Amino acid sequence: MALLYSAPCYSLASASKLKLKNPNNLLSKTNSSTNVHLRGLPSYGNGNVYCSLIPKIVKTGVKIVEAPVVSLIDGLQPAIFTPPEGDLKKEDFPPDFLFGASTSALQTEGRGDEGGRGKSTWDFMIQASQGKKAVDSYNLFKEDVKILKETGLNTYRFSIAWPRILPNGTLESGVNQEGIDFYNKFIDELIANGITPIITLFHFDLPVLLQNQFYGFMRPNIVEHFKEFADLCFEKFGDRVKYWGTINEPYVFGSYGYKMGLPGDLKNDPLGPFIATHHIILAHAAAAKLYKEKYQKSQGGKIGISLPCKWYMPHSADPKDFAATKMQLDFQLGWYMDPLTRGEYPESMRKNVKGLPEFTPSEKELVKDAFDYIGINYYTSRYVKHTCTVDAMSGVINIKYAEQTADDEGNVVGPQAKGQEDIYVHPDGLKNLLLYVKTEYGNPEVYVTENGMPDKPTITGSVNDMIAQGKTAELEAAFYDDYRIQHAHDHLVAVREAIKEGANVKGYVVWSLMDNMEVGAGYDVRFGLNYTDYYDNHKRYPKKSAKWFANFLQAENAKGSNN
Ligand code: NOJ
């Protein structure tokens, strides 16, 4: 049997395994009972030489059992498909496991002035003309659903823009029917294509009037406003949406937004993040409890929150580094997880933060257990070194912490990501974080709601123009993202291992479906499985990583696909 695909050329990893310097020697090592696995070599290197062997191999009767993915777009070198070594299979995960991709309204929708949408706090930060369109999913959402389907993903995590539904933030100030119609069409399109929506209600883009009139999350009335917005969404979309996420990465927008003065002109208040976070937790809990009491029985969905956390490891064997590591986990994850599971902030925070708000007895009751699942957004890890001080008057030992990228022997956390220097790739961190959530917080149902790999290729024009100008190497660097494949593979292995050790993980959602407007970095940093052509109407093209996912998730359909 010979399985051949219409690709113009291949490369043979089997040749490299046989350590053949001269590809022609491959023939002398094979006979008609040999299976030749057409797996690629990591670089284009000898591809053309090896591919010329294929007809000769076929003549010898050797079985060619697997073909690589080849050209992604005409004009580029064929991509040699080198699945990472290992035995990862979709079947390693539970049958109902969600495999998805994630985006947010702010980063994809664009068209902020259309469809009756009000202004969000971010509109004033994104002044670039491209920013106004993001990746134009407002118009191209059907295309997004199509690429999800082609990638074999069964889940899409995206967010609703609060100002598209309530342009001035409050229910009282009026509902934008056009916004509701838009999300109805979007959700229907997903469902019609067999894709499960996970909807985040708030992913950074606060209606600007709520910021200006009520100081956003700095005042308690945000809790009611968020609850009424959530109520409206449950009522309008909950018949079809079975996974709700209230708030994305509260740690990030709570800290950056309310300490560092972003977005807009917020005050730099050292207690700001603690006050804002208190209201974020109450807002989440109010919406979650509402869902559970008013909608869950009839709609049958689940509600959770997406928390970002690095994995933290002690910098040395010093017990104080262990204590500092725990404290750092408390200050990032425990800040939310302790209230949600125990009804109060972690002890380390209560001891160390003067002015930390307290939950009243009725708030404790509201907050505790106000979730069905926890979303974890994981990107990187750090070592933690203690900085210990002793209060001379009281003798109280005060352990603080400092993040480090290497341990005391100089071992670095992992290789740095290409597009973002602060991401050190460390898949084991994900496994350990999932196991930490399991043991520390009573093994809740968990979804990895974000995990991904940035890069920063040099792109100076549209795909078509760059090909016409012979700038194919730059495009190949963007399209043939083997490191992103390796990254997804290794993190999926980490999830699989965590599940084996008892973690209750039910889904893995990669950031991101396509390159989009990266918060704080703009359009140069790309996280997508699919390439976005910012110079040609936001056209989407699959990268090699999208093909890898397709291959992994629907092996039969994707094999040999070259389009
Ligand atoms: C976190 C955020 O939720 C998302 O908005 C961002 O683009 C990704 N991580 C990547 O940085």
Does 450 contact ligand 1 (Cβ within 6 A)?
yes
In a domain, 15, yes or no: no
Q: What is the pLDDT of residue 354?
A: 85
Q: What is the pLDDT of residue 22?
A: 45
Q: Identify the CATH number of the domain in which residue 92 sits.
A: 3.20.20.80
Span from the CA of 137 to the centroid of ligand 1 (angstroms): 17
Q: What is the pLDDT of residue 319?
A: 93
Q: The whole model's pTM is what?
A: 0.88
Which residue from 120, 450, 518, 525 has its CB within 8 A of the most atoms of ligand 1, so it is best to mutate?
A: 450
Beta bridge partners of 243: 198, 302
Residue 304 is part of which domain span? 23-558
**Residue 106: HSE in the Cβ half-sphere, 13 Å Cα cutoff:** 22
Q: Which of 109, 228, 249, 476 is catalytic?
A: 249
In a domain, 324, yes or no: yes
Largest CA distance in the chain: 87
What single-letter DSSP state applies at residue 240? T
d(CA 350, CA 494) in angstroms, rounded, equals 33
Does 377 contact ligand 1 (Cβ within 6 A)?
yes
Does 104 contact ligand 1 (Cβ within 6 A)?
yes
Quickly tell me which residue has 């992994």 as its tokens. Answer: 552
In a domain, 158, yes or no: yes
Span from the CA of 519 to the centroid of ligand 1 (angstroms): 7
Segment 109-143, tens digit of pLDDT: 998 889 999 999 888 776 554 456 899 999 999 99
Q: Which of 228, 450, 476, 518 is catalytic?
A: 450
Q: What is the pLDDT of residue 353?
A: 87
Does 518 contact ligand 1 (Cβ within 6 A)?
yes
Q: What CA dihedral angle connects 260, 265, 269 and 274, to 10 degrees?
A: -70
Decide: helix, strand or coil at residue 518: strand
Closest atom, ligand 1, to C-alpha of 450: 9
Token code pair at residue 421: 């220097």
Annotated catalytic residue 91: no
Please name the amino acid found at residue 560. G
Which residue from 159, 204, 249, 253 has its CB within 8 A of the most atoms of ligand 1, so it is best to mutate?
A: 249
Span from the CA of 19 to the centroid of ligand 1 (angstroms): 42
d(CA 561, CA 533) in angstroms, rounded, equals 22
Does 159 contact ligand 1 (Cβ within 6 A)?
no
The verdict on whether omega for the bond into residue 512 sits within 30 degrees of 0, i.e. cis, is: yes
Parallel/antiparallel/unpaired status of strands 155-159 and 98-102:
parallel
Span from the CA of 209 to the centroid of ligand 1 (angstroms): 24
Percent of the chain with pLDDT over 70: 80
In a domain, 3, yes or no: no
154: Cβ contacts below 8 Å, ≥ 6 apart: 98, 99, 100, 194, 195, 196, 553
Does 380 contact ligand 1 (Cβ within 6 A)?
no
Report how far apart, in Å, the C-alpha atoms of 397 and of each of 315, 347, 444 are. 19, 15, 33
Parallel/antiparallel/unpaired status of strands 98-102 and 63-66:
unpaired
In a domain, 563, yes or no: no
In a domain, 14, yes or no: no
Report how many domains make up the chain: 1
The verdict on whether omega for the bond into residue 42 sits within 30 degrees of 0, i.e. cis, is: no
Span from the CA of 505 to the centroid of ligand 1 (angstroms): 21
Q: Can you list the residues of the chain whose pLDDT is less than 50?
A: 1-52, 63-67, 129-130, 261-266, 557-563
Calculate the average pLDDT of the chain: 85
In a domain, 474, yes or no: yes
Please name the amino acid found at residue 374. I
Beta bridge partners of 375: 306, 447
Does 251 contact ligand 1 (Cβ within 6 A)?
no
Does 519 contact ligand 1 (Cβ within 6 A)?
yes
Q: What is the pLDDT of residue 257?
A: 73
Span from the CA of 451 to the centroid of ligand 1 (angstroms): 9
Does 200 contact ligand 1 (Cβ within 6 A)?
no
Annotated catalytic residue 450: yes
Span from the CA of 169 to the centroid of ligand 1 (angstroms): 23
In a domain, 9, yes or no: no
